[in-house]
Amino acid sequence: MLPAHAYPEFKKYDNLVGNYGSAWWRQKEEFEKFGGAILMTSNCLVPPSESYLDRLFTTGPVSWPGAQHIADVPEGQQKDFTPVIEKALASASPEELETGTIPVGFAHAAVLSVADKVIEAIQSGAVKRFVVMAGCDGRKKKRGYYSDVAQELPQDSIILTAGCAKYRYNKLDLGDIGGIPRVLDAGQCNDSYSLVVVALKLAEALGVENINDLPIAYDIAWYEQKAVLVLLALLHLGVKRIRLGPELPAFLSPNVAKVLVEKFDLRPIATVEEDVESITALR
């Protein structure tokens, strides 16, 4: 629900109080503590524990044996979420996991509405570079790389993010640059196009003809199909020097990998120190 809290239409609902939990792979522990009704709408479902299976609901492309499925309906009609609502009303209150605030809602419309402020920050030297750290999160300890990069980046850097990779750094106290948060969260994986729109508009505003001449580095965290689609979209636009991690996808045959390296300078992530040094060189 984290990205949904940024939708203007939802701001009028006082009962939408905040984000609960973190990345998809922590759901068994966090769903247990949540205590309420859970509606899964995407494929990011971990095999559920029996202890909360009776309050787990699915809809759309995802389902699970024993979980009640909210059926699709003909176009123009509304799904019946009555069972979810009834379970929520009968459930206990969630256990508190943490407190604080997370800035969200920085899709292209929001960023471009303050484009003059962003351009001014770039021209004054307050912002020297952007880092696109979008994509997926996962269990592997190596994904701590993204937390470390976020913390080691110079204070004049801004992170553009989308997808659950954000949970590696969106709760860190990275501050802001002249009122611009140093983590600009566009939303879900599907919202990665917003980051592309921002890059293209930046190029236009700065008079840069080639998107690769912008001070933008790309550190994409991949896990499954959606993050691969983000990568393909970037390649289609001719974006080069993309780092992909924690490791390159196994389905990249040696020949395909060779083409991507030679044509697009696709590269695996290296050490935090090496990559931060490379990113810092962008101006």
List the pLDDT tens digit at each of the 283 positions of the chain: 677 778 888 888 888 878 889 999 999 999 999 999 999 998 889 999 999 999 999 999 999 999 999 999 999 999 999 999 999 999 989 999 998 888 888 988 888 888 889 999 999 999 999 999 998 899 989 999 999 999 999 999 999 999 889 999 999 999 999 999 999 999 888 788 888 889 998 898 889 999 999 999 999 998 877 777 778 888 888 999 999 999 888 778 889 989 999 999 999 999 999 999 999 998 7
pLDDT given at position 81: 97
Structure tokens belonging to residue 262:
């030679």
pLDDT given at position 282: 81
pLDDT given at position 1: 63
Phi, psi (degrees; rounded to nearest 5) at 170: -75, -10
Sheet of 56-59, strand order:
38-40, 56-59, 68-70
Q: CATH topology for 20-90?
A: Rossmann fold (3.40.50)
Cβ neighbour number for residue 104 with a 10 Å cutoff: 22
Round to whole Å and give the CA distance between 257 and 133.
21
Residue 208 DSSP one-character state: -
Q: Which of 236, 26, 264 is nearest to 244 (CA)?
A: 264
**CA-derived radius of gyration, the chain:** 20
Q: Which of 25, 26, 21 is nearest to 96 (CA)?
A: 21
Structure tokens belonging to residue 119:
């351009």
pLDDT given at position 181: 93
pLDDT given at position 43: 83
pLDDT given at position 188: 84
Q: Which of 140, 156, 170, 153 is nearest to 275 (CA)?
A: 153
Round to whole Å and give the CA distance between 176 and 236.
32
pLDDT given at position 15: 82
Structure tokens belonging to residue 150:
């976020």
Residue 134 contacts residue 162 (beta carbons within 8 Å): yes
Round to whole Å and give the CA distance between 160 and 133.
6
Round to whole Å and give the CA distance between 199 and 197.
5
- Dihedral-angle region of residue 111 (phi above 0 means left; psi in -120 to 50 means alpha; beta otherwise): alpha
Sheet of 157-161, strand order:
183-185, 157-161, 129-132, 216-221, 242-245, 267-268
- The whole-angstrom distance between residue 159's C-alpha and the CA centroid of its chain comes to 11
Residue 172 contacts residue 151 (beta carbons within 8 Å): yes
Residue 169 contacts residue 138 (beta carbons within 8 Å): no
Round to whole Å and give the CA distance between 201 and 112.
8
Q: Write down the residue that tokens 């940024």 correspond to.
A: 6
Q: Where are the domains of the chain?
A: 20-90, 108-280
Cβ neighbour number for residue 39 with a 10 Å cutoff: 19
- Give 108-280's CATH code, choosing from 3.30.300.30, 3.40.50.12780, 3.40.50.2030, 3.40.50.300: 3.40.50.2030
Round to whole Å and give the CA distance between 179 and 157.
13
Residue 217 contacts residue 282 (beta carbons within 8 Å): yes
